[in-house]
Structure 1
């Protein structure tokens, strides 16, 4: 059909779209959000099962009174509060629309055309979307036999075209976390001109010996960028606020390519209030960790081989789950998250977790 043919079409007929889209965009995988089902417990998204505290909701409400004004583009108060909480300087903090927003900006700051980004797989599904978005080439590295990140294989994959490496600890969707000493050893092997992005979205829930945040490594490794979020233990997934922690020159570069006014005034106010109430955060972590450990123990007792999750979810490999398992959960009014490699089940309220464990026992014939 030619352009003149379009002119002869009836007014109600849609016209052909001829914008030349980038081939990389056409080839992008689409992010699939956790599904919901009316009347069902949603265990398909890694959300906090409890809502924000009344103080957080009140702070967000007050911020709405000034919704006619632009938010503080520099998020000065929030960055200062995060810096105090972590023991770093405010100029070492950059904020964005969730940690995924900071990720895209960070990759945009370092990815020249053809630059490679080494990342684990299966891992967070934003990675193979964010990398081409920033002009990079994804280089996935398989997990090890325990569904954990294979740092040795990732180190061997870094080459002269590598612009960045992404690590995820604890790893989403499988759950294992990296020991801090292993992260340090990996950083020592990695060229200093290569950006290392460590996604710590779930680190507050990690309890395994030797596992912890890599913030203490920042002084030693100026090529390290740590991603954190308010979406999980802080219960603010719906407000989209995350942040990065790094050398000040790195955060300045990330901020330069970030969306202006990307974090709303409501999100900033809620995050400030949530950060100030560490008692509520500690209670939330205790509840989530207790439920996670109960789910892992029950699943193992009835014969499932499940990785040692350090996050707010458990992972059932495909050979022990699959579509039939997902259907069994759906029949019990539970929505879980299927992947080709397995099924991820987020920690929910205890009564929902009870129902999930009943399904898992019945499915296993235990």
Structure 2
């Protein structure tokens, strides 16, 4: 930690978030960024016109209450508006949840590997980490997570589908887990990739919310809706939790452009869902192609595939970069976002050559 400036001691143990690398240019071939789980499909027809129209008054603040979008989402989810709160992406909501629960002397429980912001936000608040490794088949070890909860636990993160491994939490195991969680402990179900999930047994957060007032759903317009660059996410929770979260999210953080784009996309949610399932089909094809080569690839329900390479992760990342593909090296493995068909074919070719060289 720097000695030149007076900063919080918690920063000495706080990792900085490292974004996915861009691809490097390779002469003669098109490069693809498959490192950030972005939606590679073009915007919904007409959406850019809506965005342009909303950007005509940049000097004015956006509606801080996100009133129109909140009302429309409440109607779509069939929940009262008092249960919904928007933020500048799901990441801001995750940070806000930490702000209302964590401080020195408290504990947070989360799976690992999972979303990289969980340890970052826990460290910033000075909280103690209870980092629970995944099972051998790359799923949440919910029994171990429940065992890790103590009197000091204030927050639990679950991620379904899990980023980066793609596993979805099933309803029966979720309910068994929640039965062991004290009702005063807030449990966050991060559902950023829910629209890509094709597991019929996966827990539905909205249904689970009715039985568990300590549950908070965190969702986003970044992934399936393809609005990552506009930063708009939201929470669905008990109104008392939402009331506290309002104190922790930044005012005016959700721009007018983001609100307009999300309203348009929500009004066409059936199209969004169809496109998400198209991406899921491409994902399953990629998994099948890698498995045919002999790779041990777990089932995925996000818009990405996890390749558990352990010590070979860096070598695979470099092989991809040399071929104009950027993937996400997370040390334990490599996460490959779903992209255009041509990029998927190239990934399969890279994997085949890599396996022939290193196995």
Specify if TM > 0.5. Answer: yes
- Which of 227, 233, 247 is the aligned partner of 2:238? 247
The reply on whether 1:288 has 2:279 as its aligned counterpart is: yes
- Which of 18, 21, 27 is the aligned partner of 2:13? 27
Q: CA RMSD in A?
A: 1.6
| TM-score (normalised: structure 2) | 0.94
1:70-219 aligned at under 5 Å gives the runs 70-219=61-210
Q: Give the SS at the match of 2:179.
A: helix
CA drift of 1:27 comes to 2.2
Distance 1:30 1:37 in 2: 21
Q: Give the SS at the match of 1:314.
A: strand
CA drift of 1:86 comes to 1.6
Contact 2:108 2:122 in 1 (8 A): yes
Contact 1:104 1:134 in 2 (8 A): no
2:253 alignment counterpart: 262
Structure 1 spans left out of the alignment, 5+ residues: 1-15
Contact 1:104 1:133 in 2 (8 A): no
CA drift of 1:220 comes to 1.3
Contact 1:316 1:344 in 2 (8 A): yes
Q: Give the SS at the match of 1:82.
A: helix
The alignment of Structure 1 onto Structure 2 pairs a total of residues equal to 351
1:337 alignment counterpart: 328
The reply on whether 1:353 has 2:308 as its aligned counterpart is: no
2:36 alignment counterpart: 45
1:5 alignment counterpart: none
- Which of 229, 237, 242 is the aligned partner of 2:220? 229
| Mean CA deviation greater in 349-358 or 178-187 | 178-187
CA drift of 1:260 comes to 0.8
Distance 1:308 1:246 in 2: 29
CA drift of 1:173 comes to 0.7
| Mean CA deviation greater in 352-361 or 105-114 | 105-114
| TM-score (normalised: structure 1) | 0.92
Q: Give the SS at the match of 1:226.
A: strand
Structure 2 spans left out of the alignment, 5+ residues: 26-30
CA drift of 1:188 comes to 1.4
